[in-house]
Amino acid sequence: MHPITRYARALAMMGFLAPTLATAGCSVHAGYRAYDPGYHDYHTWDDHEDHAYRAYLSERHEDYRDYKKLNHDQQNDYWKWRHSHPD
């Protein structure tokens, strides 16, 4: 295969993948529903809730961990705090 053809194919592939890779990080704060078992309700996890979660972590002097990776007890602790700190 001619070297220019290889580069042209690689460049075309990058052109197809670039939009997908550029928007991959945007779904982090797109909003999903998080269940609060203590209050039997759902909360939409969006930028606003993420800001509150980071305030919770800061108040507790804890490093950031993705909410989805917390165990159930840790998630319950957050929701208890969240209900005592309304917007």
Sequence spans of domains, the chain: 1-26, 31-87
Average pLDDT, the chain: 82
Asked whether the beta carbons of 16 and 8 are under 8 A apart, the reply is no
Query: So what's the pLDDT on residue 27?
Result: 47
pLDDT higher than threshold 90 for residue 28: no
List phi, psi (to 5°) of 32: -135, 165
- What is the arithmetic mean of pLDDT over 32-55? 93
Task: Pick the more confident residue, 39 or 18.
Answer: 39
Tokens of 14: 């990058």
Which of 1-5, 13-17, 21-25 shows the lowest per-residue confidence on average (mean pLDDT)? Answer: 21-25
- What is the arithmetic mean of pLDDT over 24-29? 49
- What is the arithmetic mean of pLDDT over 57-79? 95
Give the Cβ contact number of residue 82 at 10 Å: 19
